[in-house]
Amino acid sequence: MEGIFQTQVYTWHYVAFVLCMAALGVFGHVIRGFVNPFPDRLSDSQAMDMILSDGYDMTDQLFGTEYDDAGFYRLDSLKNLRLSVAFWIIGGSVIYLFFEGMAPLFAWAANNATIWFWQLIVYRFENV
């Protein structure tokens, strides 16, 4: 990439990207646990749930997503949290590594975010 996004991608950019994806995985887990007003599992049959429900699909069946007795996604399940974080990290890493402009774009954003954050801290201390 040329122009504004031309930058070197260092190891810390990869680590920062994985940490961002992990944070999005936690956020997605919490949103799925809190926002859904209707239960994902409507019956005891997995086939019927995949047909009738919007929230239950083949990935939930394959990886064993946990639901409570009423059919809602379990927010307190560490297995669900691990699955959500793993899906975000793996999916984000595929995009990050295999699409040409993604690594320099994230490196540019990470560099500018750290500069902006440092300037914010300095500004706050100067105006205390």
Each residue's pLDDT tens digit, 15-40: 999 999 999 999 999 999 998 888 88
pLDDT at 6 (0 to 100): 56
Asked if residue 24 belongs to a domain, the reply is yes
Asked if residue 32 belongs to a domain, the reply is yes
pTM for the model stands at: 0.79
Confidence of residue 120 (pLDDT cuts 50, 70, 90): very high
Domain interval for residue 23: 7-36+73-126
Q: How many domains does the chain have?
A: 1
Residues 75, 33 contacting (CB under 8 angstroms):
yes
Asked if residue 80 belongs to a domain, the reply is yes
Strand partners, 3: none
Asked if residue 58 belongs to a domain, the reply is no
pLDDT at 114 (0 to 100): 87
pLDDT at 1 (0 to 100): 45
* Angle between helical axes of 102-126 and 11-35 (0-180°, round to 10): 80
Each residue's pLDDT tens digit, 48-70: 777 777 677 778 888 888 988 88
Backbone angles phi, psi at 67, to 5 degrees: -130, 155
